[in-house]
Structure 1
Amino acid sequence: MDGSIIDTVIARIKERGGRVTVQRLAIINVLMRLDHPTAEEIYQFMQDEFPTLSFTTVYNTLKSLKELGVVHEHYQDERSRFEITEEPHHHFHCVVCDKLIDIEPGKISLHMEPEVETEYSPLETKVVLEGICKECRKQEAGQP
């Protein structure tokens, strides 16, 4: 992700009535550097630069960024992973290394019967495939 993503995120925060604070900018920067981090991973990553930052502040900032529609939260194994993304996409969760990997839009298609849409009025669809990623399969096979 590049500077244009940051500009887009800042504009989105402002247009939705949010404030652009140092903490929000720092967490956005961490989200762009780490791959689907948990709140704990973000907190640990920020400790050197922000030693007085509390875990509660990180968590509350993520929650407010989610409410502003800037951050997406993915529940996985009783914890959440976060990301900034421009377009909806699905994920693959490796059960060995615990990575959450983006699947490009269009690589998975779903068919929904009309009565499902009528009965439930879904707002979005999220698919998480679970299995063993390519890297873990290589390690299991003893390949470098």
Structure 2
Amino acid sequence: MRQNIIDIVIARIKERGGRVTVQRLAIINVLLRLDHPTAEEIYQFMQDDFPTLSFTTVYNTLKSLKELDVVHEHYQDERSRFEITEEAHHHFHCLRCDKLIDIPGDQVSVKTASDIEEQYGVLETRVMLEGTCPTCLVKETDKP
């Protein structure tokens, strides 16, 4: 499954005129290993294997992968989280532990008035649910 996603991503980069560089491949691999990481988390994760890698390189690579429509960026508070995905989905943000959780697209529905869709040319709708995740809810009920 993971190799299939990597192959799809590489093909997408090439068909959109991008180059498949060592940094891009390394960051793609990290994105597939970590769950919605920030640029800082990706940078920290890569330090052992790429000690000369700068944070600027990580950030610029994420930006270019986003422009190639390979990486999705989710703005959260004053930072962004990144992911590679082939399936449209929504997210749940836990306000207690700060985790970002994928919610399947068919689990949330949003009805947009047809005049809004026509007026703005809506291509997709993304929903960010916020609250307390199941793990944090259990922790709350376990407190004395």
Query: What is the TM-score when the length of structure 1 is the normalising length?
Result: 0.96
Whether 1:78 and 2:86 are equivalent positions in the alignment is no
Aligned partner of 2:21 in structure 1 is 21
Moved more, 77-86 or 108-117: 108-117
1:120 corresponds in structure 2 to 120
Q: Secondary structure at the match of 1:141?
A: helix
1:129 maps to 129
The answer for the alignment partner of 2:5 in structure 1 is 5
Runs of 4 or more consecutive aligned structure 1 residues displaced over 2 Å after TM superposition: none
Q: Residue by residue, what CA displacement relative to the aligned partner does 1:28-69 show, whole Å, maximum 9, x if unpaired?
A: 000000000000000000000000000000000000000001
Letter in 1 for 2:122: P
Pairs within 5 Å for 1:56-67: 56-67=56-67
Deviation at residue 124 of structure 1 after TM alignment: 2.0
Measure the CA separation in 1 of the matches of 2:63 and 2:57: 10
Percent identity between matched residues is 74
What is the CA–CA distance in structure 1 between the aligned matches of 2:90 and 2:96, rounded to whole Å?
A: 19
Q: Which of the pair is proportionally richer in helix? A: 2
Unaligned runs of 5+ in 2: none
1:69 alignment partner AA: D
TM-score (normalizing by structure 2): 0.96
| Structure 1: runs of 5 or more not aligned | none
Mapped pair 1:102 → 2:102: yes
Partner of 1:138: 138
For 2:94 and 2:140, how far apart are their aligned partners in 1? 13
